[in-house]
Structure 1
Amino acid sequence: MKEVVFSPIIWVIAGFLFDLLRVSIPAPPVSAGVTEVDCVYLGFKTNKWDSCNGVDL
């Protein structure tokens, strides 16, 4: 649960630092980046669910 709380805070700080240092953000276009992060998180949660139910991929 800590990851869910602290992750957005850390990324906001990182974004602030990138802007402060006038460095371009090393990220893909917005929609592709959001979709990628969502899919990685979904895969992570699916793996946790499979592990709990004894499914071996």
Structure 2
Amino acid sequence: MAWTFHLLAEHPEHERRLADEVCTRTSGSPVTFADLPHLPHTRNVITETMRLRPAAWIFTGCR
């Protein structure tokens, strides 16, 4: 989540778009699992964050 907030701070146009999408879809209510298919920009932001800053590194070692 920290990287998501960091990237959104660097790209305020996406932060506004994400906030507008969530507010429009939920009318101020908490987001539920049922809302997720209706939040494409939110999904794109999270997917792009995970692409740029993956949560865990994959280590391969020599034997």
TM-score, normalised to structure 1, is 0.33
Higher relative contact order (CA 8 A, sep 6+): 2
Scaled by the length of structure 2, the TM-score of the pair is 0.31
Greater gyration radius: 1
Higher helix residue share: 1
